[in-house]
Amino acid sequence: MSTSLAWDERYASGDFQFGEAPNDYLRAQSWRLPPGGRALCVGDGEGRNGVFLAGLGLSVTTIDWSPVGVEKARALAARRGVALDARVADAAAWDYPEAAFDLIAWIYLHLPPAERAAAAAGCLRALRPGGLLVLECFSPAQEGRRSGGPKLPELLWSRAIAESLFAPLEVMEVTEGAVRLDEGPRHQGLAEVVRGVWRRP
Ligand SMILES: C[S@@+](CC[C@H](N)C(=O)[O-])C[C@H]1O[C@@H](n2cnc3c(N)ncnc32)[C@H](O)[C@@H]1O
């Protein structure tokens, strides 16, 4: 089982485990994003996605349960000269504010089923009407591949899981399939993912 301590140890190595550039899929959604809105990144690790969104002019809050990751996120934001409200928090237990965010980025956050459902419910509550949720996570076909992802199969996403957890949202697009990852030392090569964009009506 992955723990915050395990993530602290990974992040303490000094390198950015997923690179400093944002996730490609999140970047590709930039055209949809509201200028100057509020964004939340759940499980944002070392902050690459939160810092990217802050650079676009969004007011960004990030949560991650690894204090070492959050410290690196703050340092990356300072280095890039952007404001980032980076907090240490468990995504499954955070007190998600009601209708607070125009965008939620859920990028490679893999949780056990009960915690995943709790975090998804929190994200639904936290989205403003018209707000977008962007997700990219590994799918079951990733099992056994060396290009990244959790070891426990129950942590993997599927299109069906996403459609079920985000059922109250409008689907803008959702796919499950192969992509080529080039994101730091931990995400390299052909990978099987679910990615999608949902909108709160
Ligand atoms: C694969 S990394 C992805 C980090 C970041 N989203 C990115 O794409 O660069 C997964 C992250 O989820 C975080 N995480 C795992 N379980 C968590 C939980 N229950 N609450 C908050 N963060 C969690 C880990 O600490 C880690 O930073």
The closest residue, in CA terms, to atom 14 on ligand 1 is: 43
**CATH code, domain carrying 165:** 3.40.50.150
- Which residue has 């949560």 as its token pair? 63
Q: What is the pLDDT of residue 58?
A: 97
1, 3, 7: residue to mutate for ligand 1 pocket, most atoms within 8 A of CB: 7
Question: What pLDDT digit, counting tens, does each position of 93-137 carry?
Answer: 999 999 999 999 999 999 999 999 999 999 999 999 999 999 999
Q: Where are the alpha helices (DSSP H) in the chain?
A: 4-11, 24-28, 48-55, 67-80, 113-126, 159-165
Please state, in angstroms and rounded to a whole number, the distance separating the CA atoms of residues 67 and 75.
Answer: 12
In this structure, what token pair is assigned to residue 9? 């140890």
Q: Please, are residues 179 and 199 in contact by the beta-carbon 8 Å criterion?
A: no
The count of structural domains within the chain is: 1
User: Residue 18 is part of which domain span?
Assistant: 4-199
The closest residue, in CA terms, to atom 26 on ligand 1 is: 45
Burial classification of residue 160, based on how many CB atoms lie within 10 Å of its CB (0-12 exposed, 13-18 middle, 19 or more buried)? exposed
Q: What is the pLDDT of residue 147?
A: 94
| Ligand 1 centroid from CA 76, angstroms | 16
Question: What pLDDT digit, counting tens, does each position of 136-165 carry?
Answer: 999 999 999 999 999 999 999 999 999 999
Length, in residues, of the chain: 201
Q: Please, are residues 173 and 196 in contact by the beta-carbon 8 Å criterion?
A: yes
The closest residue, in CA terms, to atom 13 on ligand 1 is: 43
**Is the confidence at residue 43, as pLDDT, over 70?**
yes
Average pLDDT, the chain: 96
Please state, in angstroms and rounded to a whole number, the distance separating the CA atoms of residues 38 and 29.
Answer: 15
The band of 14, judged by pLDDT with boundaries at 50, 70 and 90, is confident
